[in-house]
Each structure stands twice: as structure tokens, then as C-alpha cells.
Chains A and B, each alone.
Chain A
Amino acid sequence: MNRHTRRWHGIGGTTTIIREHRMQRYTRTAMALHWVMALLIVSAFVMGLVMTNIPGFSPAKLRYFSWHKWLGVTVFALAVLRVLWRTFHTPPPHPAQLPAWQNLAASAVHWLLYVLIFAVPISGYLYTLSAGVPVVYLGVWPMPVFMEPNPELKPLLRAVHYWLDMTMAALVAAHAAAALKHHLIDRDDVLKRMVPFLK
């Protein structure tokens, strides 16, 4: 919640101080990037869990693997756009009355999520290159192959990708729970700033 103090210069030289409630939202572009990425990341995560639990191999399994990689490439591209946008557009400040630890926690989670929207797709990409299966985006555009298949590195990259995913899942859950707590319990503007239709 942002309370802006403004001086109102009235007729006859009287000065009234008006405390008004004016909410600062994220930009439309930031909101669009946030929600599109949220949808893609959740889809890729669920698909990753489903596909790796299909035993042996089947056409469906291979298809899910391809889709999962296409989602990852898309998330990476959007992450680049998002960081560029964020560099030039400062987000609205945290609510003024927020306890220090919550300020710190919110900032830490946001920064970690910014790191992970790069680290997760990159680790998955390296993992698939190490397995000798390059990515052909949407089945049309071959993505760069800058690493030879590497059976020694493969299990390590698999573990790195898995644990980054799990870390991200935990942080996304915390991030969403905090947003809901602000909206439903604190009844402040934290969630509204990111949701175009919430008044």
C-alpha cells in the first residue's frame, strides 16, 4: 500500500494536505511477462515430472520431452526480455509498513527467481546436449550445439537440473503463498500490483 502525500494548493492560498491512496502497479509489459512465464514454467515443471515417470519409451514420452525443451527455450528467451525490461523499469516499492525481515525475504526470493529463470533452462539445455540430443525449437529451428555429447558429465547435469527445478518449485510456492497472504490476510496491494483486473 502506497500512501502518497501531496500538497493541494487551494484557492486563496490555503494549503491542504491530502492523504490519498494511489496504487502503483507494475507495467503492463512486466505483468504480461510475469504471467506468461508463470504459465510456461508451471507447464514445463509438470510436464517434466510426468515425462520422467513414463517407463521405457513411447511416442508420447518423446513428444513430452520435445515440448518440455521448447518450453524451456521459450522461458529462457522471455527471461532475457524480462531482465532487459526490469533494468529500465523500476518495479513499485514494497509496502512501507513491511517488517524488515519480510522486505529482505521478498527481495531475496525475487532475485533467486530471476537467477533461476535462466539457470533452470540453461542446466536443462546443457543436460540434453551432454546426452547427445540437441534441441530443434518447435521441430523447425535447430538451436546451437556448443557441447559434444558427454556421458561423464550427463549424470551431474541431470542432478543439477533436477535440484534447480526443485529449488525453483519451492521458491515459486513461497512466492505465491506470500502474494496470497498479502491479498487475503493483510489485504494490501501487493498482489493487485501484478494483476491487471484486480481493483
Chain B
Amino acid sequence: MKITPHVLRATLLASTIGLALAAHAAVLKTDAAKSSVSATFKQMNVPIEDKFKKFTAVIDYDAAKPDASKATVEIDTASLDLGDPEYSKEVAKKEWFNSAQFPKATFVSTSIKAAGAGKLTVTGNLTIKGKTTPVTFPLTVTTSGGKQVFDGALPIKRLTYNIGEGQWKATDMVADDVLIKFHVVAGQ
């Protein structure tokens, strides 16, 4: 075969991809604009869903080898948007996330297992406000527009992590149950 610039370029590209795949399964690029992380809670029985404006999700996923997947999510606790700047600035306070001392909430996976078509069972450590607990939750994976879409919901109890101290400890105002939902769109 005659080596033309065209063939050379193709070979180089193929080997680069090969190298990248060898180094790690496939770290996907998160599309921040299409991804979201939210917290749903009940306030006097009223369901309210608020989004975290700043977070990063690093997902290392290969559909061919789902069990080799890894995921890390970092959320800026002060970025929870309650829909009103006056309220939103409250969440960074000591009683809630204490963002000055604990700016980030993190999730680091310890094991990801395939659980049927397009489904994964994710286990890992969730750290909020300095408290770490092991959590397991189901995650679905779909493909949309050439990108992988990960959807999951993780129910937690806010008081486990001391979120809402003092006068907010009572659960008749803000319920203990909080559902963390995430929707991560990522591609090569």
C-alpha cells in the first residue's frame, strides 16, 4: 500500500484513539448545558424541585464493558437555586450546607454493575457536609443524538447529613426525605 498523507492521517487517528481507549475505558465529555442535578423535597407537603447550578460529572463508561465504569460527581452546594436570590443565599448558611466549610458535595462510585439492558446498579460513597455514607441506586443509560444519557434518582435523608440544623431539624416544615435526581448527557 502506498503511503499517502490521507492514509497516514487515518492511521495516526486510529492509533490515537486506540491509545486513548487503552488508557481508560472512555471518559465522556459532559454536556453541562443539557445535564442537571436537582433536589426534590417536601415543604409542608408541597413537592418542590430545585436545581444545582454548578456541578461536574466525570463518567468513564463503555457500553461494551459496563462493569469497568466509574463515575464521580461534584456539586457546588451553594449553587442550589431556590428560585429567588434571597432564598438561594440561605442554603449556603451553616444550618443548611455550610458551604464555607463544605463547598462541595461529592459522589464517588466504588462499583458499577450491569443490571439488564440499559440499566446499571451504581454503588459508591456520598459525601455531604463532611458526612460520608455508602449509597446504591439504579441508573439508566440511553443514547440520544450520539450521546449517552444517564438518568438516576437517589433518595436520601437530609438529617443523615445534618442538612437543616437547629429550628430546621423538625421535619413537619421540611421533610427528611430528599430525592436527588440527575440527568447527565455526555459523549466522546
A66 and B43 alpha carbons, distance in the complex (Å):
9
Give the contacting residue for B90; candidates A57, A59, A139, A151; CB below 8 A: A57
Query: Which one of B53-61, B80-88, B100-108 is at the A interface?
Result: B80-88
What 1/0 flags go to B38-58 for Cβ under 8 Å of A?
000001111111100000000
A136 and B175 alpha carbons, distance in the complex (Å):
14
B46:A59 contact, CB within 8 angstroms: no
Is B161 positioned at the interface, with any CB of A under 8 Å from its CB?
Answer: no
In residues 15-71 of chain B, which contact A (Cβ within 8 Å)? Answer: 43-50
Is B170 positioned at the interface, with any CB of A under 8 Å from its CB?
Answer: yes
Chain A count of residues within 8 A CB distance of the other chain: 19
A59 and B166 alpha carbons, distance in the complex (Å):
11
Give the contacting residue for A134; candidates B46, B84, B87, B167; CB below 8 A: B46
The answer to whether residues A66 and B83 also contact, given A58-B167, A132-B49 and a CB cut-off of 8 A, is no
B45:A139 contact, CB within 8 angstroms: yes
With contacts defined as CB atoms under 8 Å apart, how many contacts are there between chain A and chain B in the complex?
43
B44:A136 contact, CB within 8 angstroms: yes
B48:A133 contact, CB within 8 angstroms: yes
B159 to A: closest C-beta gap in Å: 15
- In the complex, chain B residues whose CB is within 8 Å of the CB of A139: 44-45
Is A9 positioned at the interface, with any CB of B under 8 Å from its CB?
Answer: no
B44:A132 contact, CB within 8 angstroms: no
A59:B170 contact, CB within 8 angstroms: yes
B44:A63 contact, CB within 8 angstroms: yes
B44:A57 contact, CB within 8 angstroms: no
A149 and B48 alpha carbons, distance in the complex (Å):
11
The answer to whether residues A136 and B45 also contact, given A59-B168, A59-B170 and a CB cut-off of 8 A, is yes
Using CB atoms, name the residue of chain B closest to A139. Answer: B45
A167 and B47 alpha carbons, distance in the complex (Å):
32
B83:A62 contact, CB within 8 angstroms: no
What are 6 A-B pairs at a CB distance below 8 A? A57-B86, A57-B87, A132-B48, A132-B50, A133-B46, A154-B83
Residues of B within 8 A of A (CB): 43-50, 83-84, 86-87, 89-90, 167-168, 170, 173-174
New A-B pairs, 4, CB < 8 Å, besides A57-B87, A57-B90, A131-B84: A55-B86, A56-B89, A59-B167, A133-B46
